[in-house]
Amino acid sequence: MPTIPEYPTMTISFRFLAAGSLALAASVHASQACSGDVDGDQRINVNDLLEVIGSWGACPPPPAECPADIDGTGAVGVDDLLVVLSGWGDCPDADDAPQRIVAYYIEWGIYGRDYQPMDIPADKITHINYAFANIGTDGRIALGDPYAAIDKYYPGDSWDQPYRGTYNQINNVLRGQYPHLKTLISVGGWTWSGRFSDIALTSASRETFAESCVDFIRTYNFDGVDIDWEYPVCCGLASNTYRPEDKQNYTLLLQELRRQLDIAAAEDDRAYLLTIAAPAGYDKIANLEPDGIAEACDWINVMTYDYHGAWDMTATNHHSKLFPNPDDPGAEEVAERYNARSAIQTFMGAGVPASELVLGVPFYGRAWGGVAADNDGLFQPGSIVPPGTWDDWSSGSTGVNDWFEIETFIASGEYTRHWDEHSKVPWLYSPTRHGGHFVSYDDEESMQYKVDFARELGLGGFMFWEITADRNETLLDILQSARTP
């Protein structure tokens, strides 16, 4: 039996006796998960534990049932045992279903995409993360595109109001119509993470940045700050500054933000939020201090997408898989751990409560071109980056297709939809388009699996990138269903 890893809500000691039997001593703290309720009595207890141990090994072939196979792998093993132990106690009420639906709204969406703030389906979301603000050379938060943010005229605007633009539309007009809505300014992103290492470096630089964020959200009426540092220590743009101490300094930066936001909240008699967009690859999570981050933040948005893409032509793969596929030909650890379940387990294993983890999902796909038809294109080498939905002269071909464009691929009849039963995600393949076009994406079926996954673990909701990509709101409607017990 493999070694059982540390899990967030329990302390476990296992001893393997000479006779090969297993002696178990476990102290378990109840969590929100209830997928470990094997016998369906709305509580997870010793009966479920005995069911798992008694069913250990490969499941019998269908139509025989295998209720102890909680993770659906076809065998009862350590992972199923961990689910039971981590969820020990009474099952949560249905009202504990994920409640947050966090939408990223992109500032540049007002241009070629022509997606204006009034197009946002505010009745279907709970939070808007406005992407992005930049960091200035002075170490303070800075407007990204001043014209879009505070200058563009919308109906009803006047020349003498404090600010116009998308900030006014989202924070004052839209939120005035939908009082439940909260807005956060997201700082950084892939392009503007270059100065995070510098602002996190010293106590003085952290204080300056945090002070500027408080001034910023007060000035423009945001409800909080979302930090999107891609990434501490390594692996973002080559032009970014990196330091080994980014790991500890990120936590310190968030702690200083939390401190100053709490002071402002007391002064303003208003709650201010602090969240981050966190990486979902095990190698990048290793450069964080998840427990310290969770203590400082209201929640963590885990970006469980972009695991694979056309930057690697070695083999096509799913960019947002929920579970691993045992046939994945990639490096063993990548094949096993580049998936949403592994990312969430890693954060929980580091001490982050499930309710403070928000599952990030993509409203776009990633594609490869020049892909042979073997295995319907899955796990096959590619040779070109195909065009994406919003490519222009500066981006070149990206292979990034918004969901609403993928819907047109499906409707065209030129593509065949395939389903990965292991990873619970689909893909499209066309042998005639772009020399063999492979598209990895999420649809209604895969999104429902993610909704069920989040509900079973008691996660704190969903975040998606980004709102302009689902023009028909088909994926958003699936996430919205998670708010209905």
Peptide bond into 132 cis (omega under 30): yes
Cβ 102 vs Cβ 462: under 8 Å: yes
Active-site option among 107, 211, 230, 414:
230
The CATH superfamily label for domain 10-92 reads Dockerin domain (1.10.1330.10)
Q: What is the mean pLDDT of residues 169-197?
A: 97
List the single range of 5-9, 97-101, 242-246 with lowest mean pLDDT.
5-9
Q: Considering the chain, what percentage of its residues have pLDDT values greater than 70?
A: 89
Give the pLDDT confidence of 45-71 residue by residue, as tens digits. Answer: 888 888 889 899 988 876 567 888 877
What residue ranges do the domains of the chain occupy?
10-92, 95-304+339-362+444-481, 368-440
Contact yes or no for 243/195 (Cβ under 8 A): no
Q: What is the pLDDT of residue 82?
A: 79
CA distance readout (Å), 333 to 38, 271, 288, 368, 374: 29, 41, 19, 23, 24
User: What's the pLDDT tens digit per position in 118-132?
Assistant: 999 999 999 999 999
User: How do residues 393-452 score in pLDDT, each as one tens digit?
Assistant: 999 999 999 999 999 999 999 999 999 999 999 999 999 999 999 999 999 999 999 999
> Residue type for 338, please?
Y
Question: In the CATH scheme, what architecture does the domain 95-304+339-362+444-481 have?
Answer: Alpha-Beta Barrel (3.20)
CA distance 371 to 407: 21
The more confidently predicted of residues 76 and 71 is: 76
Specify the CATH class of 368-440 in words: alpha beta
Whole-number Å distance between alpha carbons of 192 and 176: 30
Whole-prediction pTM: 0.81
Determine whether 113 is exposed, middle or buried from the number of CB atoms within 10 Å of its CB (0-12, 13-18, 19+): middle
* Catalytic residue check, 445: no
